A and B are shown apart, each in its own frame.
Chain A
Amino acid sequence: MEPEDKEEARFIARLASRDERAFNELVVLYQERVFRILLRMLGRRDEAEDMAQEVFVQVFKAVGTFRGDSKLSTWIYRIAVNLCKNRVKYLKRRRTEAQDEYEALAERSPMTSGSGVTSGDIHRPDQMVEGMQLERVVQLCIVELEPDFREVLILRDVEDLSYEELCEVTGLPDGTVKSRLHRARAMLKQAVERKMGEKAK
């Protein structure tokens, strides 16, 4: 066993014995990367912050079941990605419900209820894009990707995970990961070009 592996095994043993100081070290060590992944996946800082805390709570609960088949970091990213995907599904459902409620309300509302709203209050998409920086456009396009594509793109191209780690985190075979990444890049490129084109117009 490599000295590095030995050290990690010792650290995992401390975590498994619910050593609070070991958990403090773990959070400090991984919080930045976990938060960044979650922020890219969710696109909202408050959600990402809450979810990052949740990831470490899950790690605390499940660390006893960690068998050491993969690196600790990979296992943590896997928890983060799975929690995140569940959250995205939940938020999407909630948004749809909210949208339904909003539409129902709009149908019930009389026409006069819109008085006082001027055309200047309504933001057109092109106007919204105009003020954005490239980073914001890219971020927006990433969030608009389907979660399965977003996940591989963020982990590989933003967080620089290896293909091996990517397979472990997603639980997908190598070929699928590569194909998904290829498609995700193409979709992102197309979306960014479209948005930047709108901006240029």
Chain B
Amino acid sequence: MSETPGDGVAAPPTPETTSDGEELAADLRSALKAGAAAEAPPDVLAGFQKKLRERSGGKFYEDGWSTSRHPPINTYLITSLMMLAILGVIYALLAPLSGEPVPVENTPQPVQIISPAP
């Protein structure tokens, strides 16, 4: 690591021994503490796992769906069967199981024509 120009090894009076340096450090900490709540860390773990999963081609943090080279057949099979079963239930609820349509009263009522008064 390169040193910044002007950094002398012959250091000025150790800042830690001077109360000035400590005071400033304390002020700095208290000033920054106020904004600490806004600095709540994000979910680094999820991002880290995603990056690693993508870069390793699914070798690490494999989720079995997005990056796996050999998708688990059983998962797909079970999901497909479950979807078919759900579709069957929905059909049974919406359509009659007997197969015969329910008769609907559909005879037109006689219409009485009233001739207009002369």
User: What is the interface of chain A, defined by CB distance below 8 A to chain B?
Assistant: 18, 20, 23-24, 27-28, 31-32, 34-36, 39-40, 45, 49-50, 52-54, 56-57, 60, 133-136, 138-139, 146, 148-149, 153, 156-158, 163, 170-173, 175-176, 178-183, 185, 188-189
Q: Is chain B's interface secondary structure helix, strand, loop, or mixed overall?
A: loop
Q: Which residues of A contact B41 (CB under 8 A)?
A: 31-32, 35-36, 52
Instruction: Tell whether A36 pairs with B1 under 8 Å between CB atoms, given A27-B45, A52-B44.
Output: no
Q: How many residues of B contact A (CB 8 A)?
A: 36
Q: Is chain A's interface secondary structure helix, strand, loop, or mixed overall?
A: helix
16 A-B pairs besides A35-B42, A40-B32 with CB distance below 8 A are A23-B48, A27-B48, A34-B44, A35-B39, A139-B32, A146-B4, A157-B28, A175-B8, A175-B9, A178-B14, A179-B12, A182-B12, A182-B13, A182-B21, A185-B15, A188-B24
List 19 A-B residue pairs with CB atoms under 8 Å apart, sorted by A's residue number. A35-B39, A35-B42, A40-B32, A49-B44, A52-B41, A52-B44, A53-B48, A57-B52, A134-B31, A138-B32, A156-B25, A163-B16, A171-B1, A176-B7, A178-B14, A179-B7, A179-B9, A182-B11, A185-B15
A157 and B29 contacting across the interface, CB-CB below 8 Å: yes
**B3 within 8 A of partner (CB):** yes
Residue of B nearest to A185 (CB): B24
Cβ-Cβ contact count across A and B, 8 Å cutoff: 114
Q: Which residues of B contact A188 (CB under 8 A)?
A: 24, 28
User: Among A56, A136, A146, A185, which residue has its beta carbon within 8 angstroms of that of B21?
Assistant: A185
Q: Which residues of A contact B29 (CB under 8 A)?
A: 157-158
Q: Which of B3, B10, B12 has the most CB of A within 10 A?
A: B3
In the bound complex, what is the Cα–Cα distance between A200 and B6 (angstroms)? 33
Instruction: Tell whether A133 pairs with B15 under 8 Å between CB atoms, given A20-B60, A188-B28.
Output: no
B45 to chain A, nearest CB (A): 5
User: Among B4, B11, B24, which residue has its beta carbon within 8 angstroms of that of A178?
Assistant: B11
Instruction: Tell whether A31 pairs with B60 under 8 Å between CB atoms, given A136-B35, A139-B32.
Output: no
